[in-house]
Structure 1
C-alpha cells in the first residue's frame, strides 16, 4: 500500500554521530535506574528458580498430576496481563502501577510459599505472574521516560543484563534451596526483596509526574472488555498446548476446540480494539512496516531463546545424565556470553544510532547455532555443546536491546506506553510458543519412536509414551524409574529415542530461525530521536522530531 499523502519526505539513515543534548543526571535519575534494576532482578529470579525445584515440589505434594501448571499459570498471566499495564500506566501514571505490580507479586509469593496444596501453589504462581507482567512492563516504560530513544539501548542493555543474571542464577538458587533447605524459600525470599524494591520505588519514583486519581471516570477509560477477551484467548491457547500430545492427542476435540477458540480470539481482540475509544493495543502500532516487523522480530527472538532453554536441559538430563541442578550449570555459557553482549549491543546502537545491522547480525547467528545443535548426541564433547551455546548467546545478546527501539523509532512518543506493553506481550507470547512447539514436536516424535523400538518392553513403552518421555527427563527420574543402570541395551535404545526426538526439535527450530532472519529485511533504518518527548519524564524536555517522523505521521500501512 502506498504511503499516506500527508507523510513527510523519506527519512534519512541515522547519523553516525550522536547529537544528544547534554542533560544533567542527578541522584534521582540514578536512584530510579537502580530501583528499576532491582525490580528486574526480583522478576527474573522467580521466572526460573522453580524449574530445578520441580522434583522436590512433586515429591512434597505426592503427585505429578497438574504440575505443569506451576510454570504455565505464571507464564499465562505474565503474558496475558502485560497489555493492560501499558494502557493503565498512561491513565494512572508510572509510579502507582509500579507499586501495584510489585505488591501483587509479593502477595502471590506469600500465597505460594506456605501453599498447603498444589492448587494453592498454582494460584499463587498465577498472581505472581500478574505482578511480573507489571514489573517487566513498567521497568521498560520508566527507562523510556527517562532517556531519549537514541540512548535507550545503552540503558536497556544494562537492565536486560541484570534480568539475564537473575534468570541464570535462579535455577541455581532453586536447586540449592530444594536440596539443602526447602523449595518454599524460593517464594519466601521474594518477600524481603519485594519490600526493599517497594521502598526504593516509593523514594525514587516520587519525582515522576502523577497520573489521574483512582476514580470511577478514570477506571472507565481502562479497556477491561478488550483485556478480558485477550486473557480468554491466551488461556484457551495455553490449555490446548498443555494438553496436546500429552494428556490428549492433537486430534482430540479437547485440544482442537480451545486452540481454535484461542487463535480466533486474537484477531477478534484486534478488531474489537478498533472500536474502543482508548484501546489497549491501538491498530496504529502496526501501521508501518518497520514497527510491524519489529514486533514479529521480538516474538521470534523470545521464541528461539526459550526454544534453546527448553530443549537443552532435556538433552543434558536424558542423554548426558545430568541432574536438574547440573543442567542449570551446563547452561551457564549462554548467560555468560549473553549478558555482556546485551550491554555491548545497546552501547553500539546508542553510539551509531543504527539498529538494523544489529538485528541482521543477531538473526544470522541464530540459524548457525541451532543448525549445529542438530548434531548433538551422546558423544558430543563439553567443548562442542558449550561452543554452540556461545554462538546462540551472541545472537540472544545482540538482539535483546534492539527490538524495542526498532519498534518505537517510527512511532510517536505518545505511543511509548502501549507500544512497550505490546512489545512485552509479543515477547511473552513468543515464550509460550518457544516451549509449546518443541514440546509438541518432541512428544510426537518420541511417541512414534517408542512404539517402533520398545514394542517388546511394555513397561518402558507405557512410561515413555504420551508425554512420559519429557516428564521423566524433566523430573530427573528417567534412569531410576526405568532401571537403565542395570540394562545397558535398554539405556542405549532410550538414549537413541531422545537424541532423534531432540534432533527433530532443533530442525523445526532452524526453520523458525531462518524466518527470523528474513524478517529483518522488512526493517528500515530510520533516525532515532535524540531528545525526550514525554509527559512522564523527570523534567519538561524540549520537543525534537527525528527524520523518522515520516512514519509517525502515517496511519496507513506503508513500505517504510
Structure 2
C-alpha cells in the first residue's frame, strides 16, 4: 500500500470513527455522565495508590523484600502495553462497553490479588489490574471529550483531575484502615472487587451508547495487531533489565544485554509498522510532526510520568522506612500532597476555560513542581516536619496544574478525529514514563542503599550485610541495635536522595521545553 493511499484511508476511517462518537449533551445528562466518569477514575486511582502502603506487608508475607516493587511496576508495564490499544478500541468499538470491560477486568483481578499465594501470582494479577486501570484512565477522559466542547474541557478535565487527587488520598487511607482493623492487606482487594462491579453497573446506567456503523468483521480488521505485539515486546524487554541492572544482576549480564537488544529491535519494528503498515495505527506517528508544540506536549508526559509515579511510590517509603511513621500517619502526610493536587486541578481548569488559554497554567505547574522537587533535597532522617509538609504542598500544587491541563493543551493542538488517540498516546507516554521511572528509581535506590551499606565499617557482620542487601523495601529492625537501625535508615535515605536528584532532572526537562510551546487558544486544528 502506497504511503499516500494509506494516509488517505487512515484519515477517512479516523474521521468516520470520531464523528460516530460525537455526542454533546444537555447539562442534566452531562452531569450524570460526568458523575459516572469521576467515580470510575476515582476507583482506578484508589487501586493504584493503595498498593504503595501495602508493599512492605506483601513483601514480608511472601518473603520477597527484594522484588516486591514489581507488584507496582508490573501494573504500570501492562497499563502501558495495553493502553496503546485503548485509543483505537475507543474509536472502533463502543466507548461505554470498553470502559465497562476495563472495570470488570480490574474487579476480577483485584479479587485474584487477594487470593494470591505467592509473589509471582501477585505480580501477574497486578499486571492484569494494570490493563483494567489503563482502560479506565483512557476511556473516562475520551468520553468526557466526546460530550463537552473543547472550550469546556478545561473545567471538566480539571474536575476529573481532582478525582485523581482524591483517589490518591483515599487509596492510602483505605489501605491503612484495612491493615489497622484486619491486619491483612488482602481484605482491601476483597472490598475493591464488589465496589468496582457496582460502579460498572452505574456506568452502564448513566453513560450513553455510541458506536460506529460498521460490522464486527470490519472492526476486528482495523485493529493494529502487529503494532500491539511489537510494542508489548519492546516495553517489557526494555523495562525488565532496567529495573534490575546494577542491583539484582550486572549490566554486563548476557540476559540484560539480550533483553535490551530485543527490546530496541522490537521498538524499531513497531515504529516501521505504525508508519508504513497499519491502516489505523495505535500511535499515528504523524501526531509528532503535525506541529512541534503537540510533540513537546506529548513527550513531556513521559518525563512527568517518571516523576509522578515515583512520587506516589517513594513518598510512603520515606515516611515508613526512614522516618518510622505508621501507615496511618503516612496516609495523613500524603494528604499534604493530594489535597493541593485536587484543589489546584479544579482552579486551573476554571482558569483555562475562562481565559481560553493554557500556557500560563502549564508554566506555573512545571515551575511549582520543579521547586517542590528541589526542596526534596532538604529531606533527611531528622528534617523538620514543617519543611516536609511545605515540600509536599508545593509538589501537589504543581501536579494539579499539569495532570489534566496538559491534556486540554494537547487536544487544542490536534484534529478532532485524533482526540481519542491523542488521549491514549498521552496516557501511554505518561504510563511508560511511570514504568520506566519506577524501574530506574528502583535501580538507583538499591544501588545507593547497597553502596552505603558497604561503608558500614564493621557495624554489621558479613552474614548480616548479605541478608540486608535484599532487604531494600522491608526489614525487621527488632534484631538490630539502635546504632545499626540508625545506620540502616541513613542507607535508605542515601538511596532516596539519589532518586530525588533524578526527579529534578525530569522536571527540568519539562519546564525548559514548555517555553517553546505556542498557545493559540482553545481551538482544535479543525477550526484554524
TM-score by length of 1: 0.84
**Match for residue 313 of structure 1?**
316
Q: Which of residues 389, 392, 399 is equivalent to 2:392?
A: 389
Q: Counterpart in 1 of 2:192?
A: 190
| Alignment-derived partner of residue 158 in structure 2 | 157
User: Which of these residues, 510, 513, 516, is aligned with residue 519 of structure 1?
Assistant: 513
Change in 2 beyond 3 A, CA 1:501/1:345: same
Q: Report the alpha carbon displacement of residue 220 of structure 1 after superposing the two structures with TM.
A: 1.4
Instruction: Say whether the 8 Å CA contact 1:73–1:122 is kept in structure 2.
Output: yes
Q: Give the CA RMSD over aligned residues.
A: 2.3
1:277 corresponds, among 276, 279, 286, to 279
1:31 aligns with 2:19: no
Partners of 2:366 and 2:52 lie apart in 1 by 28
Query: 1:199-233, CA deviations, whole angstroms, 9 ceiling, x for partnerless residues?
Result: 22222223x42235672332111001101111111
1:104-157 residue CA offsets vs partner (Å, 9 max, x unmatched): 222222322333443333332222211111111000000100111121111111
1:60 deviation in Å?
4.1
Instruction: Give the secondary structure class of the aligned counterpart of 1:453.
Output: coil
Q: Are residues 420 and 189 of structure 1, via their aligned partners in 2, closer, same or farther at CA, if it must alter by over 3 Å?
A: same
Per the normalisation by structure 2, the TM-score is 0.89
CA contact (8 A) 2:95 2:143 kept: yes
1:480 alignment partner in structure 2: 478
Q: Provide the residue aligned with 1:558 in structure 2.
A: none
- Could you say which residue in structure 2 is the equivalent of 1:112? 113
Question: What CA distance in whole angstroms lies between the structure 2 residues aligned with 1:105 and 1:331?
Answer: 24
Equivalent residues in 2 for 1:178-257, closer than 5 Å: 178-181=179-182, 182-206=184-208, 208-212=209-213, 215-257=216-258
Residue 363 in structure 1 maps to residue 366 in structure 2: yes
- Closer/same/farther in 2, CA of residues 498 and 195 from structure 1, 3 Å limit: closer
**Number of equivalent positions:** 501
Separation in 1, partners of 2:355, 2:162: 21
Q: Give the distance between the partners of 2:65 and 2:452, measured in 1 at CA.
A: 24
CA distance in 2, matches of 1:517, 1:66: 34
Deviating more after overlay: 433-442 vs 75-84? 433-442
Aligned equivalents of 2:174, 2:34: Cα separation in 1: 25
User: Residues of 2 paired with 1:440 and 1:320: CA distance?
Assistant: 22
Q: Provide the secondary structure at the position in 2 that maps to 1:67.
A: coil
Q: Distance in 1 between matches of 2:498 and 2:244?
A: 20
Tell me if the contact between 1:82 and 1:137 (Cα under 8 Å) persists in the aligned partners.
Answer: yes
Q: Using the alignment, how far apart are the partners of 1:414 and 1:59 within structure 2?
A: 49
3-state SS in 2 of match to 1:362: helix
After superposition, give the CA deviation of every residue in 1:348-387 in whole Å (9 maximum; x if it has no partner): 1111111111111111122222222112122311101101
Distance 1:487 1:320 in 2: 14
Give the Cα separation in 1 of the matches to 2:242 and 2:152: 39
Distance (whole Å) between structure 2 residues aligned to residue 204 and residue 264 of structure 1: 45
Equivalent pair of 1:443/1:469 in contact (CA under 8 Å) = no
Cross-structure match for 1:533: none
Q: Deviations over 1:160-210 (max 9, x none)?
A: 21122112221221122133223222222223222222222222223x422
Q: Is the 8 A contact 2:231 2:267 kept in 1?
A: yes
Higher deviation after alignment, 212-221 or 506-515: 212-221
Give yes or no for the alignment of 1:500 onto 2:494.
Answer: yes
Structure 1 residue matching 2:421: 3-state secondary structure: helix
| Contact 1:172 1:328 (8 Å CA) reproduced | yes
| 8 A contact 2:49–2:171 mirrored in 1 | yes
User: Equivalent residue for 1:142?
Assistant: 143
What displacement does 1:266 show? 2.8
Match of 1:54 in 2: 55
- Post-superposition CA distance 1:429-480 (Å, at most 9, x none): 1211332223222222222222123455224422333xx3522xxx2x3523
Q: 1: distance between equivalents of 2:63 and 2:498? A: 33
Matches of 1:443 and 1:80 in 2, distance apart?
Answer: 26
Q: Distance in 2 between matches of 1:423 and 1:172?
A: 29
1:464 paired residue number:
468
8 Å contact kept, 1:375–1:503: no
Deviation at 1:307, TM superposition (A): 2.8
Whether the 8 Å contact between 1:106 and 1:190 is mirrored in structure 2 is: yes
Q: Distance in 1 between matches of 2:104 and 2:492?
A: 42
**How big is the shift at 1:79?**
1.4
After TM superposition, the structure 1 stretch with the greater mean CA deviation from structure 2, 132-141 or 251-260, is: 251-260
Higher helix proportion:
2
Task: Give secondary structure in 2 for the equivalent of 1:331.
Answer: helix
Q: Aligned pair in 2 of structure 1 residues 312, 104: CA closer, same or farther (>3 Å)?
A: closer
Q: Contact 1:297 / 1:403 at 8 angstroms: preserved in 2? A: no
Question: For residue 553 of structure 1, what is the aligned residue in structure 2?
Answer: none
The 2-side partners of 1:427 and 1:45 are apart by: 18
Q: How does 1:366-445 map to 2 (within 5 A)?
A: 366-445=369-448
Q: Which residue does the alignment assign to 1:6?
A: none
Deviates more, 1:147-156 or 1:267-276: 267-276
5+ unaligned residues in a row in structure 2: which ranges?
1-23
Query: Structure 1 289/77 Cα, relative in aligned 2: closer, same or farther at 3 Å?
Result: same
In 2 relative to 1, CA 492–126 (structure 1 residues): closer, same or farther, beyond 3 Å? closer
The 8 Å contact of residues 92 and 214 in structure 1, kept in 2 or not, is answered as: no
- 1:290 CA drift (Å): 0.8
- State which of 484, 488, 503 in structure 2 corresponds to 1:509: 503
How far residue 317 of structure 1 moved from its aligned partner, in angstroms, is 2.4
Q: Which residue of 2 aligns with 1:529?
A: 523
Q: Displacement, 1:263?
A: 3.8
Paired residues of 1:153 and 1:349 also in contact (CA < 8 A): yes
Q: Distance in 2 between matches of 1:262 and 1:525?
A: 36
Deviation at 1:330, TM superposition (A): 1.9
- Is 48-57 or 133-142 further displaced after alignment? 48-57
Once residues 421 and 212 of structure 1 are traced to their aligned partners in structure 2, the CA distance between those partners, rounded to angstroms, is 22
Structure 2 distance, partners of 1:127, 1:170, is 19
